[in-house]
Chain A
Amino acid sequence: MKPAAFEYRKASTVEEAVEQLTQLGDDAKLLAGGQSLVAMMNFRLVRPSALVDVKGILDLQYVEANGEGLKIGALTPHRWIETMEDPGVLEGFSVLKSAARWVGHYPIRTLGTFGGSIAHADPSAEWCMLATLLDAEMVVVGPGGERMIPASDFFQGFFTTALEPDEMIIEVRFPEPAPYAALQEFARRAGDYGIVAAAVALDLQGGECRSARVVLGGVSDVPLRIPEAEQVLEGADIGQEVFKEAGQEAAKVIDPPSDVQGTAEYRRDLAATLIQRALTEAVAKVKEAADAR
Chain B
Amino acid sequence: MKDTHPIEITVNGRVHEIEVESRRTLADVLRHDLGYTGTHLGCEHGICGACTVLLDGLPVRSCLLFGVQADECEVETVEGLESDGRLNPLQEAFSAHHGLQCGFCTPGFLMLATGFLRENLDPTEEEVREAVSSNLCRCTGYQGIIEAVLDAAGKGGERTETAADETAASETSRNQEESVSVEDVSLSGAGEANQ
User: Footprint of B on A, CB under 8 Å?
Assistant: 1-8, 31, 34-35, 38-39, 41-43, 51, 53, 55, 79, 101, 105-108, 110-111, 189-191
Give the top 8 A-B pairs by smallest Cβ distance, nearest first. Answer: A8-B22, A105-B134, A107-B59, A39-B45, A110-B58, A190-B133, A38-B64, A7-B3
In the bound complex, do residue B3 and residue A8 qualify as a contact, i.e. CB atoms below 8 Å apart?
yes
Tell me what chain B mostly uses at the interface: helix, strand, loop, or mixed. mixed
Chosen A-B contacts, 18 in total, with CB atoms closer than 8 Å, are A1-B44, A5-B23, A8-B68, A34-B64, A34-B65, A35-B61, A39-B46, A41-B23, A42-B63, A51-B22, A53-B69, A105-B49, A105-B133, A106-B115, A107-B115, A107-B134, A108-B64, A111-B60
User: Footprint of A on B, CB under 8 Å?
Assistant: 2-3, 5, 21-23, 25, 28, 44-46, 49, 52, 55, 58-61, 63-66, 68-69, 112, 115-116, 130-131, 133-135
What residues on B are CB-neighbors of A4 within 8 Å? 23
What residues on B are CB-neighbors of A190 within 8 Å? 130, 133
Query: Which residue of chain A has the shortest Cβ distance to B112 in the bound complex?
Result: A107
Given contacts A7-B22, A42-B63, 13 further A-B contacts (CB under 8 A): A5-B2, A6-B22, A8-B68, A38-B46, A38-B63, A39-B45, A39-B46, A105-B135, A106-B112, A106-B116, A107-B49, A107-B112, A190-B130
A105 to chain B, nearest CB (A): 4
What residues on A are CB-neighbors of B28 within 8 Å? 2
Tell me what chain A mostly uses at the interface: helix, strand, loop, or mixed. loop
In the bound complex, do residue B23 and residue A111 qualify as a contact, i.e. CB atoms below 8 Å apart?
no
In the bound complex, do residue B133 and residue A191 qualify as a contact, i.e. CB atoms below 8 Å apart?
yes
B137 to chain A, nearest CB (A): 12
Task: Compute how far the CA of A41 lies from the CA of B112 in the bound complex, rounded to whole angstroms.
Answer: 24
A242 to chain B, nearest CB (A): 32
